[in-house]
Amino acid sequence: MTQNANAPVVTLTEAAKHFGAVRALDGVDLSVAPGDCVGLVGHNGAGKSTLVNLINGSFAPSSGQVAFPGGAAGVRSVFQELSLCPNLTVAENLRISHPGLKGPGWRRPARAEICAALDAVFPGHGIAADAEVDTLSIAERQMVEIAIGFAPRGGQARLVILDEPTSALDAGIADQLLAHVKRFCAQGGAVIFISHMLGEIFEVATRIVVLKDGRIVAERPAAGFTRQGLVDAMGHVATEEAAREAESRPPPGAVVIAAEGIEARRGEIVGLSGLAGHGQAAALARLYLSQSSDWRAGRAPRAVFVAGDRPRDGVLPLWSILRNITASILPRDARRGMVDRDRERTVAEEWKRRIGIRTDDLSNPILSLSGGNQQKVLFARALASDAPVVVMDDPMRGVDVGTKQDVYAMIRAEAAAGRTFLWYSTETEEVCQCDRVFVFRNHAISAELAGDQITEERILQASFEMQEAS
């Protein structure tokens, strides 16, 4: 396939990717040669996905180079978010990434190829090539996706990027995959293996690359890492400041909310942590919905919600800033069902000042604001109410550093005044501001940390599967 069997499959030179001011990837040098199995680890937002997208061509680098000395053919990605078409059969899904299959009767070679690929990776898989994907379990879909990644597809797979391939697989199937990855690399293939299961990384990787804040902070042969050393290399400590602030607040009071295995006291800031997509956001939404009603809205709601996914969960796009701020306090300030518009404006003006929403006129449309300022509006909407519990679903996305500090201070002040905060964040630094932290793994709480226990290392330990891949 390649002119030179030992030339790297892909070489990144000072590759960087910026999204506006955000440096998702900040100058990365990496080379993957045939036979390499690179284990890629790092916390959420470290830049792993951006790196993958640079290699598979989804993004062009903002600066630096991504070079394929032997051509880009044979570079495949297998994503954790299943990307199969559910209404097509297994064999038809192979066709999508295999343009060589055409003409009448293309389904027969497609069936043969996908069966061979599945047999090679997962012997005894029991998946029929004619099964429609939506009749398969999540694990089976992931297996099909992996098999398509390794299938010849009219050429040969040279580099397969596996992004959390085992999160949906049970241990036995995962072992089959790991064994196949080792075979594949021994035969001269290259793999980039991303996983939060450190045991798997140590089992298959010949080399481990640690990403943090868009940079490679460590790159060594797998034997050069210990498990603890790897966790330490991923994280960083930023808790001292938060610990000092916490001391100035009164001790928490009685339990005000207990649901979904989460318990929170009056005046307490409770964090939800763990890796993204492990059930924190869903648990928070269920918890909030259980505290409010589809049918009634009282003058004094028990809880309010601050959305992080603004377009989906928060912003009312046709409305002015003013109406967006007061959306949750309408019943409280109403007189006989009618909105008190003077009072509404007074409240909104006060919160514009307190939280610093940058606008000349609150009657401007909400969409005239930047993302960070829209987020401030959503904070104002929640804090303007008298609800004793404030539920926050990763509310700092797209918020600049200065605003973050303002909002942290406001949250601490409100907590000191007796409000309870439930705060899901993907940023460990924010979680370290909390009094108590529940760490989620696989849609269940894997650890409860309090006080001095809240350190980045402890959270990471609880987030990652630490046991050996058996």
CA angle 46, 272, 449 (to 5 degrees): 100
Inter-residue contact 66 to 37 (CB < 8 Å): no
Q: What's the min distance (Å) between Cβ of 376 and another protein? A: 15
In the bound state with another protein, the residue whose beta carbon lies nearer, of 80 and 328, is 328
Bridge partner residues of 468 (DSSP) = none
Q: What's the min distance (Å) between Cβ of 370 and another protein? A: 17
Range list of H helices, 56-106: 90-96
In the bound state with another protein, the residue whose beta carbon lies nearer, of 313 and 457, is 313
| Residues binding another protein: number (CB under 8 A) | 35
Q: What's the min distance (Å) between Cβ of 317 and another protein? A: 6
In the bound state with another protein, the residue whose beta carbon lies nearer, of 44 and 291, is 291
In the bound state with another protein, the residue whose beta carbon lies nearer, of 267 and 308, is 308
Residues 382-441 that bind another protein (CB under 8 A): 385
Answer yes or no whether residue 338 interacts with another protein by CB under 8 A: yes
Answer yes or no whether residue 370 interacts with another protein by CB under 8 A: no
Q: Residues 284-303 vs another protein: string with x where CB under 8 A? A: -x--xx--xxxxxx---x--
In the bound state with another protein, the residue whose beta carbon lies nearer, of 65 and 364, is 364
Neighbouring residues of 162: CB distance < 8 A, sequence distance ≥ 6: 78, 146, 149, 181, 191, 192, 193, 194, 195
3-class DSSP assignment, residue 270 = strand
**Cα 296 versus chain centre, distance:** 34
**d(Cα 284, Cα 404) in Å, to the nearest integer?**
21
Classify residue 196 by its DSSP letter.
S
In the bound state with another protein, the residue whose beta carbon lies nearer, of 41 and 384, is 384
**d(Cα 281, Cα 305) in Å, to the nearest integer?**
12
Neighbouring residues of 213: CB distance < 8 A, sequence distance ≥ 6: 26, 46, 47
**d(Cα 248, Cα 267) in Å, to the nearest integer?**
12
In the bound state with another protein, the residue whose beta carbon lies nearer, of 166 and 420, is 420
Tokens representing residue 347 in the block: 């409240």
Amino acid at 125: H
Answer yes or no whether residue 330 interacts with another protein by CB under 8 A: yes
Residues 234-293 that bind another protein (CB under 8 A): 285, 288-289, 292-293
List interacting residues with another protein (CB under 8 A).
Answer: 285, 288-289, 292-297, 301, 304-305, 307, 312-319, 323, 327-328, 330-331, 334, 337-339, 341, 365, 367, 381, 385
